[in-house]
């Protein structure tokens, strides 16, 4: 158990709907990353936070995607107007100062 929890674990939605995923790292994880993983591929970096500051966003993160970490603790990833290509596993990691990434179980999105 990495101490990183993600909710919901699985979300099925219709194309065009908005979805929001939540990640709760442990308190020592001052850095938080979001990754996306499609079947048969390695995780792809989306964005990361140092405490509450969003320091980097991948060009994979279109304007339909927004991530927040309002108090430097939990984070949310919202996808607006979902498309079938958004179907993937969305992974969150917490990272202490030592740099290791500890992944949550992921939130699987299926867009019909």
Partner 1 sequence: QQQVKQSPQSLIVQKGGIPIINCAYENTAFDYFPWYQQFPGKGPALLIAIRPDVSEKKEGRFTISFNKSAKQFSLHIMDSQPGDSATYFCAARGKLIFGQGTELSVKP
Q: Which range of residues in 14-22, 41-49, 61-69, 72-80 is near partner 1 by CB under 8 A? A: 41-49
Distances (CA, A) of 85 to 5, 41, 79: 25, 14, 12
Q: Which residue has the tokens 């065009």?
A: 16
| Partners of residue 68 on adjacent β-strands | 76
Q: Is 32 in the site for partner 1 (CB under 8 A)?
A: no
Q: Is 28 in the site for partner 1 (CB under 8 A)?
A: no
C-beta of 80 vs 102, nearer to partner 1: 102
Distance CA(49)–CA(15), nearest Å, equals: 28
Residues that bind partner 1 (CB under 8 A): 2, 4, 6, 33, 40-45, 48, 56, 89, 91, 99-106
């Amino acid at each position: 158990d990495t101490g990183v929890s993600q909710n919901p674990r699985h979300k099925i939605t219709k194309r065009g709907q908005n979805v929001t995923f939540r990640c709760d790292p442990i308190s020592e994880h001052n850095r938080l990353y979001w990754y996306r993983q499609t079947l048969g591929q390695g995780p792809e970096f989306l964005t990361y936070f140092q405490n509450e500051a969003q320091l980097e966003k991948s060009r994979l993160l279109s304007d339909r995607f927004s991530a927040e970490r309002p108090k430097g603790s939990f984070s949310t990833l919202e996808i607006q107007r979902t498309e079938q290509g958004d179907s993937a596993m969305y992974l969150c990691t917490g990272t202490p100062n030592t740099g290791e990434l500890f992944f949550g179980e992921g939130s699987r999105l299926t867009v019909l």
